[in-house]
Amino acid sequence: MIRFQHVEYLWLLLLLPIAVIIYISFLNWRKHKIKKIGDPELVKPLFKGRIAGRNTTRFVLLMLAMICGIIGMANLQAGGQVETTERKGLDIVFALDVSNSMLAKDIKPDRISSAKQLIYNMLDKMKGDRTGLVVFAGKSYLQVPLTIDYSAMKMILSSVNPGMIPSQGTVLADAIQLSNQSFKENETKHKVIVLISDGEDHDSKAESAAKDAKDKGAIIYTVGIGSPQGSTIFDATTGKDKVDINGETVITKLNEAELQNIAETSGGGYLRLTNVNSATETLIAEIGKMETKKLGELEYKNYKSYFQYFIGCGVIFLIIGWLLPEASLLPQHKIQIKN
């Protein structure tokens, strides 16, 4: 079976007929200009040494190089033998806090952006795990059910923002319960919840929800984002820091104790996010210690690529065209001086 991996590049071949038309038009224009000088047969000696058709030869070589280059970019492939590999992994649900307090800038650029970047990084390092996404503030919503389509997960994650949930607050218990419901009920292990929040909970049921998740086989890793000292919240609508009903500036603080209790209750771990890259490595390493499960078999076709041969031929055509002389050497005439 033969195919092109990037068939969209083949549209560039449509430019070649246009180039040929332009070149033919140029030849006709030049021929017309020569006729204005005089009889072509009489004018020809003025171009002594010039090799007839050399420019056309170079143009043909350039066209061949472009054809080879375009086919090379499209990557001609052959083979297509079906191979099967066993896919193993875990079910991982990210529970992301999108309350207004996540707009605080005590971690740059802000809490919500850093949290999303952490999830992006983890998705880049995952292989075979099914992932889901729950967002929460005053209420929780399942944005992405368990899937192996990481690209779709990233696309939906990019649109997540604190303004998407009208009911504000931080109800951790509700987020844990919804995340736990996203897993298959008949499984008692291989389930992970990564809860990313500043921990400013307005509900006392979070620890109970964490215990229930553990009883059903889910382990919770909590990621604290923000600073214990606290930070103001920038309000984009007013262009100033957010204030409460009394006109006092709102300060949001990281509640590490709440997040640590949730992690300990579920048998997981707590991590404070200070550096996205190091946090990614730590979480991936911790989750990587867990026993994986068989998630089915993945079939794929193994193709052999031939782009390098076409690119090589294109380069050769360009070199040949560059090395061809523009004109032949004129014979040397010896001048004899008679005494």
Residue 262: the pLDDT is: 94
Q: Please, what CATH class does the domain formed by 86-297 belong to? A: alpha beta
Q: Are strands 231-232 and 251-252 parallel, antiparallel or unpaired?
A: antiparallel
The answer to whether the predicted template modeling score (pTM) of the entire model surpasses 0.75 is no
Q: Which two tokens stand for residue 273?
A: 């996010």
pLDDT per residue over 112-141, tens digit each?
A: 999 999 999 999 998 888 999 999 998 999
DSSP 327: B
Per-residue pLDDT at 157: 96
Q: How many CA atoms lie within 13 A of 89 on its CB side?
A: 22
Say how far apart CA 98 and CA 103 lie, in whole Å: 9
Higher pLDDT, 255 or 235: 255
Domain ranges, ordered by start, for the chain: 2-75+306-323, 86-297
pLDDT of residue 164: 87
User: Pick from 164, 104, 111: which is nearest to 134 by CA?
Assistant: 164
Q: Which helix (DSSP H) or strand (DSSP E) does residue 253 occupy?
A: none
Give the residue carrying structure tokens 């690529």.
305
pLDDT at 3: 86
List Cα–Cα distances, 201 to 113, 162, 214, 253, 325, in angstroms: 20, 16, 20, 11, 79
